[in-house]
Structure 1
């Protein structure tokens, strides 16, 4: 009996380890399936109005379409990074727009939680709370932070999905037209589908003021479909990234330095009346020292 018990325990541990590795591999394949060329449809509609203002006007329903290239930038065992690029305009001579980026980190404990008005709070999570989970970190077009959260990928009944709720800045479609709220609570669901993948959102528009309870202004539904098409249709975006990858690697490295300070982060909206992405989108900013200096100028000390 003394010999049998350790053997049984070893077999149980071995089986558990094998199962964990298989699950992690399924997670990684689900995440990487979001790479490639996609016809994207962005759908957003305000659903419920909680405003006490009788003159309140909800956001207009928004439907946009585009072609998007999702480039696999990093493919490591515990980290997958995907850069999104929009390909717009004349298909014969398209214009490429650097879009959002998503990083996926396995069993990550360090998060930046958005706290309204261009500030993020650094949080250290207990390792047992993120066991088996993936953190999705979403970045702005200039690789500054947007929102992030940790959850478990689920593979059941032929479905693969990841769900999380996190506080985030206003999306561009809103902050250019709205100033009556300052935070959006994003309910995100990423689901792998037979056509590609789906970004399903249930969002809450919130007014947040220090020392006061959050006020819910309205809610909205987002339903963004990514339909996989032949990679050749995004050849221009792939070529653009190949030509510009070195510059944006420098940008990411500088931001990694900022995030690695592991303290609360507050960013300037503008420096010399200019937002950060306009500096970094300028071809003149392509040297390491210039990139580091301009990013640092936006970080409030």
Structure 2
């Protein structure tokens, strides 16, 4: 009887391990299915407000051609970069999303351009993927952990995260300071969908006041990769610099200290001097060590005085 029980236990263990392996492979496929050349439509609408005299803002609608591709792949990490394609020659580096398997380290947004380190319990993230979303300057934006779901022919992931104001409202509004986001990424027949159910929150002294709810519906429709060929060529020329920018940020995040970023220095937001530095440094004689020192010098100006980046 003992021998039979051991065999059954072993069989259950093997079947469970195989199921977990297949599940992770399905997760990876779903994440990688977000790669490619896409026609993107961005749609946002305020839907409800608990504030009696709230004045609803106009709906937002925009579109772009966007190239999404992996810049890093390993067993438990996939880094996807987004590039906007404008016309036949112009490229704008857009947002970045990192996917980490069973990750326990988060930087959670508080308010006023401040992020705090949070450690999750290993049991709480078993089988989950963290999505870490970064600004165009590769600085922090928002992070959340959840399980990819594959059921009834659907593959989707959804999680809640606090975030700073979106770029479409960053310079236009100051009546709220936190976007409480509920993000859903779903793989579709046409490409993928980024669905959002957000709340615009005024956070003061630990008290949250919801001003309005918002619906986001962003569709990524797959196009022929040739339409994004210019983005592939641009990244080949610029990828070394942005790898160094990521390395500098990673050093800062590894400290696990609170990150607070100034909105402007010399009347410029952070991405401006970083983009200018890219144009200055890139060339045949590109020196990664020298570049990281100059990148650190730029980012340091935007950090609070308690945070210091080490020079090479």
Cα-Cα RMSD: 1.1
In 2, the alpha carbon distance for the partners of 1:184 and 1:257 equals 27
- Per the TM alignment, residue 285 of structure 1 is displaced from its structure 2 partner at its CA by 5.0
**Counterpart in the other structure of 2:288:** none
**Counterpart in the other structure of 2:159:** 164
Of the three residues 166, 181, 188, the one matched with 2:183 is: 188
**1:52-201 correspondence runs (5 A):** 52=52, 54=53, 56-89=54-87, 93-201=88-196
Secondary structure of the 1:149 match is strand
1:201-221 CA distance string (max 9 Å, x none): 00000000124x200000110
1:195-250 CA distance string (max 9 Å, x none): 00000000000000124x20000011000000001111000111111110000000
In 1, the alpha carbon distance for the partners of 2:116 and 2:292 equals 27
1:110-162 CA distance string (max 9 Å, x none): 00110010001110000000000000000000000000000000000000000
- Per the TM alignment, residue 175 of structure 1 is displaced from its structure 2 partner at its CA by 1.2
Extract unaligned runs of 5+ from structure 1: none
In 2, the alpha carbon distance for the partners of 1:118 and 1:145 equals 9
In 1, the alpha carbon distance for the partners of 2:129 and 2:160 equals 13
Bigger CA drift: 284-293 or 169-178? 284-293
Extract unaligned runs of 5+ from structure 2: 283-290, 307-312
In 2, the alpha carbon distance for the partners of 1:9 and 1:252 equals 45
Contact (CA 8 Å) 1:71, 1:238: kept in 2 or not?
A: no
1:202 aligned to 2:192?
no
In 2, the alpha carbon distance for the partners of 1:88 and 1:63 equals 17
Secondary structure of the 1:251 match is helix
TM-score (ref. length: structure 2): 0.92
In 2, the alpha carbon distance for the partners of 1:110 and 1:198 equals 26
1:293 aligned to 2:297?
yes
- Work out the number of aligned pairs and report it: 295
Secondary structure of the 1:3 match is helix
In 1, the alpha carbon distance for the partners of 2:169 and 2:266 equals 24
TM-score (ref. length: structure 1): 0.95
In 1, the alpha carbon distance for the partners of 2:268 and 2:61 equals 29
Secondary structure of the 1:132 match is coil
